[in-house]
Structure 1
Amino acid sequence: MSANFTLSSHLTFYFMAVKNLFGKTLFTLLTISNLANLTVVSAKCLEGFFFPVLATQDYRWSSSLMFFAVEICLSVPVLLYMKMVIVPAVKSESSGLEWRYLWLIPATFYLIWCYLLYGNSSHSSLEIALQPKNTLFLFAINIGAFLIYYVVARLILEQNKSLELRDKNHQLIMQAMQYKNLQEKITDARRAKHDVRHHIALIQEYLTEGKLDALHDYLNEYSKSLPDNSLVRFCENTAANAVLLYFAQQAKDNCINYFVKVKIPNDIFVSDTDISVIFGNLIENALESCKNESGNDRKILIRANLTGSSLCITVDNTFSGTLKCTNDDKLVSTKHKGLGLGTQSVKNIAAHYNGVCHFKTEDGMFYASVMCCNKTDN
């Protein structure tokens, strides 16, 4: 009873102290527990081989000696394995959905260990630990487990690389769109400049002949043929401007009102990639939300400003649905099962810059706000 209470207390403290995804925390705990169990059983087996008399007694110096020897032998390879395989996977900023199930892998190996030591009613756990074949079996089980952990870690890292490539490709697409728009503006301007002398000659002819009504009609038609004088630059920051231009065209094609008030300089502490990901994900979600709305008052309002050492960004859009969140305040995607990968990426970037990210719905609108702080400025 006392042992169970102590174990429960330790587990409760562990999960309260470690602020992370429950599945990721449990995966780490079970992985370390399996390694600790192998260490204990191996030490007891070696004690039975070198000190057979003392091995059957409780808490002898021989037990501590063998335990220390096993830890010395395992410390270097285990530390290298943890540093190169487990730590990068655990520290990676993923969607969190995979960790809901990955903890089952070390849990399975933990149950195998428990069954081996405590499921055999004909032998005590001490007798089982003293048999070398059982130690070799547990060693083989752990080798298999660590191979599976390696595969899982590689898959998680590859998934993160794929998400990073997707964000970079998204940025390149929007920059290409900006370049195309600029080229069209330049072509239209050149065409207008080339034709302007013909228009002047015709205007002079109308004036000479006194055909003022015809001149008035001609000028009206000419003004309609002039190139579009809409904004070709929302802000000085190249990355942000590329994203804003790209989605401005998308909003126009879908008859969505698009309002932008952004003041971001080109030289800023937030990288171009991170700026593209923040604006791209937030505006893309806003555009998708507005597409699903009915009525003529669909709108997207984008504001951003660099104030001191903080970059503040807000993206608001029409939204009449219901915001779904997990228990740890992560948004559930409305486009697929699981968490919203875009909003999670934005949160990760905000956290990287010691900032915050907040989402809420109110009065038929969805409000997204992000603040990034300059880490070099106290």
Structure 2
Amino acid sequence: MKILIVMLTELFILFVQKEFCDKTFRHRKVHRGIPFLVWFFFYASTNLLTYLFDLPFWFRFPVFALPFLAVLYILYEEVFEVRLAVASFIFIMGMLAETIVCIVGAMLGYSVETARETTELFLLYNILSRLIWFIEIKTAFVLQKKNRTAGIRKTDWLEVFFVPVSSIFIIVSIFGPYAEQFFTLKLMASFLLLVINLFTYHSYYSIQEKTFYTAEKKFLTQQVESYATQLQAMGQMWEQMRMYRHETQQKNLLVQSYIEQGKYDKIKEIFCKDKTLTESRTCISKTGNVSMDALINYKASIAEKYGIRILLDAIVPYDTVFEDTALYSLLGNLLDNAIEAVINTASEERTIRMQIRTTNNLYVQMENPYSGELRKKNGQYLTTKSNKEDHGLGLKMVRDIVEKYHGVLDIKDEGNRFRVILFVYDITKAAC
């Protein structure tokens, strides 16, 4: 009976470990059946070695860590130091949970030896220690969200504690009134409570991820529509340039005719019109890099409609081509966020300062004023848009792209000025 108890509770732990790893690490591309085989090998090897041979405490860590590191190496992408840290953390939390249960049991007059000899207490100790460990792992996962999303919600903490703590009270009440009666029923009830804990954990985060995915998909759709408008505007600009070249040829003939006739006032009138037309076009980016210039000049034309100036200091080689098109989205998002913030400021303050440098790396510094209070949650900036589903998606996409290239992102605000500095490595490729 004790073996059955161990196998069921360890199966619960296995599913929690898999969920934690799936949400923490990026998956390697492996055959569909490989994850099942790898996790089964881990489950079988660690439990057989630990319980069949009754290993001493000091030997349990390598027995757990080595197969677990193998699982992380085969199925997930991460550096060795992080894998080792996660393996150590999970093991230590398990030991801590068992220690807490043993200490509380000793305070109530039940020694560890008694728990090992009594099947009823053995089941109770196992279930309680697994639930406490479950709370510890879920707490770690919620705290991890602080670095990956806009912040931690109150419902996250409710999910962490409500179901497991309620389960602990239910299990204690089940075991309390009876000493030896209905043991099979208690075993089934305890296992079902573990399943309920696992199901609610999985369901909660699945729903949360689906909600975020829907909001992100909507945001990306809006981005695509924005870029479609941008391409249309660029097409119109090139059409205007084509017409301008044609008109220039005609004007040259007309100017030549006026020179021959001595009508210099007419020539002056033509050049004045050309000067006005040229100055009316928003063209702040003149690096010679067509993609970069088109993106920045388009955003500058939008800013100009709101009376916003963009002061640009950019050095970008004409043949620089970003390896990932998402980097253009990164620059576009930064400018969109800055324009959105500056719109609400006084007219005399509507200036965005932007500095760009590229070699094989990308350096961007942007500074803009803002009005009112910036909304932050757990150290992460939130959008001021009325649509609550889009909280921080623009900055999150910027942060995700920077993390993808193992770059650096620094965001500061003081004196009603918002400043973003980012450095991304190895982002260019040879021009085709």
Q: Establish whether residue 333 from structure 1 lines up as the match of residue 383 from structure 2.
A: yes
Q: Kindly indicate whether the alpha-carbon contact (under 8 Å) linking 1:178 and 1:245 is maintained by their aligned counterparts in 2.
A: no
CA distance, structure 2, for counterparts of residue 279 and residue 175 of structure 1: 13
Match of residue 276, structure 1, among 307, 328, 332:
328
Q: Kindly indicate whether the alpha-carbon contact (under 8 Å) linking 1:313 and 1:370 is maintained by their aligned counterparts in 2.
A: yes
Q: Establish whether residue 94 from structure 1 lines up as the match of residue 149 from structure 2.
A: yes
CA distance, structure 2, for counterparts of residue 259 and residue 95 of structure 1: 30
* Partner secondary structure for residue 355 of structure 2: strand
> CA separation of 1:65/1:236 partners in 2, compared to 1, >3 Å: closer, same or farther?
farther
CA distance, structure 2, for counterparts of residue 65 and residue 239 of structure 1: 68
| 1:204-234 superposed Cα distances (whole Å, 9 cap, x missing partner) | 4434443333443344235445696653865
Q: Which runs of 5+ in 1 are unaligned?
A: 1-19, 21-27, 41-55, 75-81
Q: Kindly indicate whether the alpha-carbon contact (under 8 Å) linking 1:257 and 1:297 is maintained by their aligned counterparts in 2.
A: no
CA distance, structure 2, for counterparts of residue 114 and residue 134 of structure 1: 13
> CA separation of 1:111/1:192 partners in 2, compared to 1, >3 Å: closer, same or farther?
closer
Name the structure 1 match of 2:214. Answer: 162
Match of residue 138, structure 1, among 164, 183, 190:
190
Q: In structure 2, what residue type is equivalent to 1:193?
A: R
* Partner secondary structure for residue 296 of structure 1: helix
Q: In structure 2, what residue type is equivalent to 1:216?
A: K
* Partner secondary structure for residue 371 of structure 1: strand
Q: Establish whether residue 312 from structure 1 lines up as the match of residue 363 from structure 2.
A: yes
> CA separation of 1:220/1:121 partners in 2, compared to 1, >3 Å: closer, same or farther?
closer
The CA deviation at 1:127 is 4.8
Q: Output the TM-score relative to the length of structure 2.
A: 0.56
1:45-64 map, 5 Å: 57-60=114-117
CA distance, structure 2, for counterparts of residue 369 and residue 348 of structure 1: 15
CA distance, structure 1, for counterparts of residue 212 and residue 286 of structure 2: 31
The CA deviation at 1:252 is 1.1
Match of residue 252, structure 1, among 304, 317, 321:
304
Name the structure 1 match of 2:239. Answer: 187
CA distance, structure 2, for counterparts of residue 285 and residue 360 of structure 1: 14
Q: Establish whether residue 290 from structure 1 lines up as the match of residue 345 from structure 2.
A: no
Q: Kindly indicate whether the alpha-carbon contact (under 8 Å) linking 1:177 and 1:246 is maintained by their aligned counterparts in 2.
A: no
1:1-378 map, 5 Å: 57-60=114-117, 93-98=148-153, 100-119=154-173, 123=177, 127=180, 131-162=183-214, 164-166=216-218, 168-169=220-221, 171-225=223-277, 230-231=282-283, 241=293, 243-264=295-316, 266-268=320-322, 271-273=324-326, 275-306=327-358, 310-326=361-377, 328-335=378-385, 340-374=392-426
| 1:113-142 superposed Cα distances (whole Å, 9 cap, x missing partner) | 222233469616x658x6222322233333
The CA deviation at 1:175 is 3.8
Aligned residues with identical type, % of pairs: 19
CA distance, structure 2, for counterparts of residue 231 and residue 223 of structure 1: 14
> CA separation of 1:146/1:91 partners in 2, compared to 1, >3 Å: closer, same or farther?
farther
CA distance, structure 2, for counterparts of residue 358 and residue 92 of structure 1: 13
Greater displacement, 354-363 / 335-344: 335-344
Q: Output the TM-score relative to the length of structure 1.
A: 0.63
Aligned residues: 308
* Partner secondary structure for residue 347 of structure 2: coil
The CA deviation at 1:168 is 4.2
* Partner secondary structure for residue 307 of structure 2: coil
The CA deviation at 1:284 is 1.7
Q: Which runs of 5+ in 2 are unaligned?
A: 1-23, 25-88, 102-112, 131-136, 428-432
The CA deviation at 1:290 is 0.7
CA distance, structure 1, for counterparts of residue 211 and residue 169 of structure 2: 35
> CA separation of 1:356/1:219 partners in 2, compared to 1, >3 Å: closer, same or farther?
closer
Q: CA RMSD in A?
A: 4.6
CA distance, structure 2, for counterparts of residue 240 and residue 246 of structure 1: 10
Q: Kindly indicate whether the alpha-carbon contact (under 8 Å) linking 2:255 and 2:267 is maintained by their aligned counterparts in 1.
A: yes
Q: Kindly indicate whether the alpha-carbon contact (under 8 Å) linking 1:289 and 1:319 is maintained by their aligned counterparts in 2.
A: yes
> CA separation of 1:264/1:97 partners in 2, compared to 1, >3 Å: closer, same or farther?
farther
Q: Kindly indicate whether the alpha-carbon contact (under 8 Å) linking 1:240 and 1:279 is maintained by their aligned counterparts in 2.
A: no
The CA deviation at 1:157 is 3.0
* Partner secondary structure for residue 115 of structure 2: coil
Greater displacement, 195-204 / 249-258: 195-204
Q: In structure 1, what residue type is equivalent to 2:373?
A: T
Q: In structure 2, what residue type is equivalent to 1:112?
A: S
| 1:328-358 superposed Cα distances (whole Å, 9 cap, x missing partner) | 4222433356963333333343333333322
Q: In structure 2, what residue type is equivalent to 1:108?
A: F
> CA separation of 1:332/1:204 partners in 2, compared to 1, >3 Å: closer, same or farther?
closer
Q: Kindly indicate whether the alpha-carbon contact (under 8 Å) linking 1:258 and 1:301 is maintained by their aligned counterparts in 2.
A: yes
Q: Kindly indicate whether the alpha-carbon contact (under 8 Å) linking 1:185 and 1:227 is maintained by their aligned counterparts in 2.
A: no
Q: In structure 2, what residue type is equivalent to 1:107?
A: F
* Partner secondary structure for residue 58 of structure 1: helix
> CA separation of 1:284/1:221 partners in 2, compared to 1, >3 Å: closer, same or farther?
closer
